[in-house]
Each structure stands twice: as C-alpha cells, then as structure tokens.
Structure 1
Amino acid sequence: MAERSRAVLALHWQVNVISPDGFFGGLLGEPVARSGVVGRAVRFHRAAREAGVPVVFTRFTVPEGEGQLVRNTGFMRAVGEAQEAFRPGAPGAQLIPEMAGLASAVVDNQKLSGLAGNGLAESLRAQGVDTLLITGVATNLTVEQTARHATDLGFTVHVVSDCVTAADETTHAASLANLELTTAGCVAAPEALR
C-alpha cells in the first residue's frame, strides 16, 4: 500500500470567528470557549507540525472589490455588508493569537469551502498531498462544506472531531454524523496523530 501524504487544513481560526468580540462572536464566541476546542486544536496543530505534517490555515477575508465573494446566501450577504471587518489586514481577519507560529501557510478566500476560489487544492496536490485532516469552526458551515468539497475533489478526508465545534452541540453532532458518511470518517486528534 502506498504511503499517504497528509496535510492539516485548519479552517477559520481567526478573530472574527473565534473571539467573543469578533464579527461572529455573538454566535460562536461562547460555544467555542465552552467547548475547549481552541486548546485541543493548538495541541494538535503543534504536534502535527512537529511530526513534519504541513498545517495550512485558511482565513475568510474580503479584499477591496470583494474578490470572489458572491452574495448568494444570507451568510454571504451579511459578510458582504460588513466587509471592512474582513479586509485581509483588519484585526478580525487575523488568526487568533493562540495559533501564532503554527501555520506552514495561510491562504485567504471568499467562499465557505476553504478550497474554493484560491488554488489551494492544486497547490496541495502539487506537493503530493492526498489526505486532509480538517480542523476548524464551525462544524456545520466551513468544516462540512470544505470536507465535502475536498472529498469531491478526490482527497481522502478525515475531520478531527475534537478539533471542531459549532454554535450548539446538537448541530455539531448532526454535522459530525453527516461527515462520518460523506468523508473517510471522523477521527479524534490522538488517532489522527498516529
């Protein structure tokens, strides 16, 4: 059996998504803090880097002119209206301080899938990556969208189940159940590191 080349895809670990004072703080700040997901993800990302596995972070940003943002959903319309908060240099668009120094690369995009509209899938393939370990927030939004997209693109995808969370536990659990069926399966961080 051929050796698989892995990468961690770390989705939306940015101030606007994670921090209570970020754009989505009212929705996600408290559930993220309560879940303890940040600490687990930091440990996982650090261990992956130490094992030589690339950790690629994606950020949802909106450049001047809106880039590839399409206002075709309520989510995208809301972000489009608040695009100044998502400019690449804006405080809210930055990775949270806990993730500082853990990225092999940081890739920006204006889509819900971390692999859409940015050439990241092609870059990973060019590096020989065929397996993605996904972390991020929120499970039912960018994580699920990216995992399904990556699977459709031919990657073997595992969502790291203890390094993702959503606004509520019921939604999170339902999303993980969906991902168990639509990807190569969810794994906890210790298993992913093995």
Structure 2
Amino acid sequence: MSSANQSATPDPGGTSPAANAAVLALHWQTNVVAPEGFFGAMLAEPVAASGVIGRAATFHRAARDAGATVVWTRFTVPEDEGRLVRNTAFMEAVAEHQDAFRPDGPGAAVIPEMAPDSDDWVQDNQRLSGLAGSDLPERLRAAGIDTLYITGVATNLTVEQTARHGTDLGFTVHVVSDCVAAATAEIHDASLGNLELATAGNVSADRALDLLTG
C-alpha cells in the first residue's frame, strides 16, 4: 500500500459532513500495541485490557462506510533516517533502535485487526505528531477536509500531539475518546482532560458517527 494513496479523495463540494472529514488512525502498529513490538512491554497489556482495538476497528469501518477518509499514520525510520530529529529522549531511543522501525519491517505494519482498506491513505513519518514532517496537512486541505477524528495509541503521546497540532493548523479536531488508550488509566484520563479544552472536544465513537452522518 502506498504512503501516498489518495484514491479515496472526497469531493470538496460534498454535502455530507463525512465528505469533509478524515479519521486519523494513529500508530495502530505492531511496534506500539502488540506484545512483540518495540513498545509492547509498556503498552500491549493495557491496550488489550481496554478493548480499544475492537472498538476502534469498528469505528474505522463505520466512518469509512459513512464516507469519511481514513488515514493511517505509521511511525517508521527509513535507512537514511528521513526527517528524524534526535531532540528528545523518546527520539533518541528510537534512533538507537531504528532497525525495528524500518518501513517494510514487521514492527511497522498496521496490526491485522486494523488492516487498511485499499482506498485508505497511509502516511509514514518520523515525528510524534501524525501531521508533522510530511505533506499530509496540505493533502487533507486539497481534499476539502476540515474536520479530523483521532484514534490511536498512546493518548498522551501521538494522540495528544497530533490533536494539538491539528488544532493549531486550523482543523476542527475531535479525539474519539473510547478509541484511544495509554499505559495507565490515569495518564489516559489526564490527557483527555487536556484535550477537552485544547481541541473542539472529545467525542465517543457513537457521537462521532452521529456527526459524520449528519
């Protein structure tokens, strides 16, 4: 699947709310949510216990059926390191173990439960925000998309970073609160509390689908 797959580009003049919306499905990768992944020791167990994978997979399908564009972001590190910047402890750790993040490696793959559809977009980058270090914001605007619904792991990392970034870029951003998870419930809840004020507000998957279908 291409990292620039745009075959699902909606009509900017569409009347359905979903035509102007995208679901950003962040870091649903083996490295992040599977036990064998790089961050598996920290995240796999709480993610499994939360049931978030099943809820998010159901939401992605329903949003796609409603006409929204589904965009999968993958954290990867190519051989030349791409746009990786070693300016935090997190990025230093990734850089030291970058072989685990090669784009074609098993750790970078989206988990089977979330297999992207052929019309979905897939965007790789080397930043915590799914909207940084690529032309994804410009592509979204060119497709007439002004509203983003965010799912992913972890709530306090890529989800919060992307939600704040998208808001600052001028998108209307909603985090789908029952389709995100973190290492602990306390971290998850604190992050959602921040985002309730910093974005257009958190919504449940059911509420998001109500908004998408008008």
TM-score range, shorter chain: over 0.9
Q: Give the alignment partner of residue 57 of structure 1, picking from 50, 72, 77.
A: 72
Q: Give the alignment partner of residue 33 of structure 2, picking from 12, 18, 21.
A: 18
Q: Give the structure-1-normalised TM-score.
A: 0.97
Residues of 1 paired with 2:16 and 2:29: CA distance?
32
Alignment gaps of 5+ in structure 2: 1-14
Alignment gaps of 5+ in structure 1: none
State the AA in 2 paired with 1:97: P
Structure 2 residue 163 is the aligned partner of structure 1 residue 147: yes
Indicate the residue corresponding to 2:177 in structure 1: 161
Residues of 1 paired with 2:40 and 2:63: CA distance?
28
State the AA in 1 paired with 2:107: G
Indicate the residue corresponding to 1:93 in structure 2: 108
Q: Give the alignment partner of residue 207 of structure 2, picking from 188, 191, 194.
A: 191
Partner deviation per Cα, 1:73-114 (whole Å, 9 max, x = no partner): 110001001101100001000000001134611100000000
Residues of 2 paired with 1:3 and 1:94: CA distance?
32
Residues of 2 paired with 1:176 and 1:101: CA distance?
26
Matches within 5 A, 1:63-78: 63-78=78-93
Residues of 2 paired with 1:168 and 1:126: CA distance?
37
- Tell me which stretches of 4 or more aligned residues in structure 1 moved more than 4 Å: none
Residues of 2 paired with 1:80 and 1:101: CA distance?
27
Residues of 2 paired with 1:25 and 1:39: CA distance?
18
Aligned-pair identity in percent equals: 69
Q: Give the structure-2-normalised TM-score.
A: 0.88
Aligned-residue CA RMSD in angstroms? 1.1
